Chain A
Amino acid sequence: MSETLRTIEELTEAGYEYGFSTDLDTDIAPPGLTEDTVRLISGKKNEPAWLLEWRLKAFEAWKTMAEPDWAKLEIAPIDYQALSYWAAPKKKPVLDSMDDVDPEIRDMFDKLGIPLHEQKMMSNVAIDAIVDSVSVTTTFKATLAESGVIFCSFSEAVQDHPELVREHLGSVVPFRDNYFAALNSAVFSDGSFCYIPAGVRCPMELSTYFRINSQNTGQFERTLIIADDDSHVSYLEGCTAPQRDENQLHAAVVELVAKDRAEIKYSTVQNWYPGDENGVGGIYNFVTKRGRAHTDAKISWTQVETGSAITWKYPSVILQGDRSVGEFYSVALTSKRQQADTGSKMVHIGKDTTSSIISKGISAGRGQNTYRGLVKIMRSAENARNYTQCDSLLLGSDCGAHTIPYIEVKNPTARVEHEASTSTVGEDQLYYCRQRGMSEEDAMSMIVNGFCRQVFDELPMEFAVEAQRLLSVSLEGSVG
């Protein structure tokens, strides 16, 4: 093995810096999943009857479904009866003031670099902090309310805006959509809710920060974002989890509704605990994310995925309205023993609809990275256009990159382009940078960041910096 390859291995075996756990007094339901579990969760949250009914229907559907087996993932069997489906920090804070947040939770977020005190916060970003699937606080609520923006936990939305929730819940991802969406629909505990009224440009970035803390609990959040006619919102999502030897299940659902001429930009930096280099521990991340774009609307997904032992995730856009636009920008890094099967679905229904998919996969260590995408042009979609670009970068010789694009075209006016490339960080590139005085670590980080540039350019400023740093940390280690 050459010097460079060895260094790449060292570089990709850095520790996980968010691996601490916090000792929170937590209310946990006993393991097991039955109809009673669903009733318990719904009861804990004082939900209206229609929602309990919906959950129960989802649970009935889930029981008849099977786990998807088509992904290029090797997953140890998951015992759904061994998990606990409800965990919440016991001290439920009063949401009027940040000072009422449990100090231990506040410390935890401080440690994560996400201060929840408003005066200390990143200016212009409102945060919904979610611990073990329960929203603990939402910042800047009052400021947002002035422009009519509703940003709160899902549970609050169910109580305070039931008509909005009822109209849109499951309208983009029906509970029968897939195994994990059905499971989520039955047992989801909390999540974020956001409504932007017609004509409003949301005055700040909205952000949800997800933190898994408890052990042996499944995590099921649900996010619903509704952008009414002519509105605009940029939404950010960040995720971390403690370092534990057991795998933890995370099955979330995100639904976006962009009404006429509305625009939703949804960005994710996902850094769940990835497990160690032997594949012990790590989050199983099975996520269904989908948006519906109405006439002249635009939905843009940007994701930087560096965490999780398993990632199964295909943020999608249903381009329903004429001239609607769907975008997907993705960086997925797999190192150690991580496996990712991720990509996007673009379903063109309206006329003159446009979609683009830019996917950058980086594989290191023994990581396996699969791009899987579907571009579907329906008969009704006159003059639809899609551009797809999938680039894979291999670091080392024990990892893998795979590209599986599906294209279904039912309208002859469609124009669909697909480009794919696979490259390695060449020893010649590293040598070139080192000859110019850069350390091997700096050179590697520069080359990989360059590879991801197209996607990072789509991220809001604060997140772009965070994403670059995260990528460097994920590749960092001791250079000998």
Chain B
Amino acid sequence: MPVKVMIPSPLRPYAGKRDSAEFNAQTVGEALGHLTTQFGELRKHLFTEEGKLRSFVNVYVNDEDIRYLAKENTPTKDGDTISIIPSIAGGVRS
């Protein structure tokens, strides 16, 4: 059983309107790599031009924030669910 990546509503237009996708992956980074290879338009909304996960994009494996695990090297196992949740931020000063 592969890893399931849940795709949030704002990003579904860039993922063939799908709400999830499944991949065989050993780590979170690998799963997100498969996701953004299959759906190339997703990449710029998740990663900076330098290839880093955008600061407001949070990734969870099951209910665990990967920032408190091994970030994108966090291992995954069959049946895990990866969620992508934005923090919302803004303000007047650039």
Do A and B assemble together? no
Chain A residues close to B by CB (< 8 Å): none
Chain B residues close to A by CB (< 8 Å): none
